[in-house]
Structure 1
Amino acid sequence: MKEMDQGIQYMKEGKLEEAAKYFTGAIEQNPNDPIHYINFGNLLLHMKDYGRAQKFYQKATQLDEEAATAFYGLGNVYFEQDEFNDARVNFQKALTLGLDEADVYFMLGLSCLYDEKFKHALPYLQRATELNGEDADVWFQYGLALAQTEQLTNAKEVFIKVLELETNHSDAHYNLGVISLFNENIQEALAHFTRALEIQPEHILAANGKNQIEKMLADNE
């Protein structure tokens, strides 16, 4: 096993000190190879040491201006610090350089979504569902973007898809409840809010929705 591969294996096993030692050795032996800086950046990102991770990714981009995974790493560094505009720039750079993977589209879409650029988020999240159609969270975030752009019929279909992939997805039930309430389907909304609370009893939004419906029904008796 190569030294770099051993370091990655240590990371997977949670042996972070051992991984750092191996990556340090790899950089000392091959100081002009960007992959070693990227791997060390990934380790530091995992450890939430964002400042140092950023420096290692930037060093990789200095050594190789087309190191797509380094720009993806930088995007994650900025995303984790809620710097969504910088995150988008770097994720987009990774895509431009050929990192055509579901995770890149997903993180680019999330960066737009969290920065309330909902329409911009849609094509990236849609592409992520095409590349990773079995991930419930990818579908859920796509559903949120649809809902935020008032495409409620499409959003409903996507949230139903989420439940097909993950039956006990409380937030999918909550959002289906909101859509049902918007469509004045009170009993369906109540059923979704109730199910969300069965799955996650501390779901405050579902509890509020359920209480409001029950109060409204009681007032109409």
Structure 2
Amino acid sequence: MMDKNQQAIELMKEQKYEEAAGLFNAIIEENPQDPVGYINFGNLLLHINDSERARRFYERAIELDQDAATAYYGLANLYYEASDFPAAQENFLKAIEIGLEEADAFYLLGMTFFHQEQYKLALPYLLRATELNPENIEYLFQYGLSLAQSEHIDDAKPIFQNVLELDDHHSDAHYNLGVIALYEENLSVALDHFNQALAIQPEHALAENAKTQIMNVWNNTEM
């Protein structure tokens, strides 16, 4: 027999949001001192883009329990979606400090640094996300990108290759391997990667520009 929280979460999954809200409301009325009801209601409100009310529910959960890691995580997601990366960062950090060992929390924390162009600070969190979920292509790719942006080109290369092992149709991994090949002054390998990126995604403007530059170099060399 499912408890009311589980029932409400199932209703959310079925997109029966009004029914789920009614159930979460009943849970809170029955147990007004239990933060779980507020956190779940906050998650529902965030899901339907009522972020202001969601914030109030998360904050109420934290008032009831300073160590409610998932309430901080909910707040962090709320701020992340609003592109308030410093506030998101603070709350992801708090959730992790309390003990939330979720790959997604480390990934999003890393991405708060990435979006602020603090690539080196992003690295340990993105690395941890890939350790917790090594099959997640997005985690791997963003980790590789942060390595490249931090000028750790030699470390980035095998990460992008790993991305292609998991998904050989990842146009951005091909593009970045092409850029690395340019750094290595290997124009033919670079061109091959740019061509593959364009075969997968014909409108890939960066790959198109890079390919054009290589062709110009070759054409000028042949003159």
Alignment RMSD: 1.2
Distance of 2:218 and 2:49 partners within structure 1 = 48
When the two structures are aligned, how many residues end up with a matched partner? 221
CA shift digits 1:49-74 (9 cap, x unpaired): 22221111111101111000100111
Alignment match, 1:54: 55
Alignment match, 1:197: 198
Q: Which runs of 5+ in 2 are unaligned?
A: none
The TM-score, its normalising length taken from structure 2, stands at 0.95
Alignment match, 2:174: 173
The alignment-based identity, stated in percent, is 55
DSSP-derived class of the 1:168 partner: coil
AA paired with 1:20? A
Distance of 1:205 and 1:15 partners within structure 2 = 42
Distance of 2:94 and 2:3 partners within structure 1 = 29
DSSP-derived class of the 2:45 partner: helix
The Cα of 1:202 is off from its aligned counterpart by 1.8
Q: Which runs of 5+ in 1 are unaligned?
A: none
The Cα of 1:150 is off from its aligned counterpart by 0.3
Alignment match, 1:5: 6
Alignment match, 1:124: 125
CA shift digits 1:158-211 (9 cap, x unpaired): 001111111211111111111111221111111111111111122221121122
Distance of 2:191 and 2:123 partners within structure 1 = 29
Map 1:89-108 → 2, pairs under 5 A = 89-108=90-109
CA shift digits 1:129-182 (9 cap, x unpaired): 111111011111110110011000110010011111112111111111111112
Distance of 1:201 and 1:28 partners within structure 2 = 55
The Cα of 1:16 is off from its aligned counterpart by 2.2
Alignment match, 1:87: 88
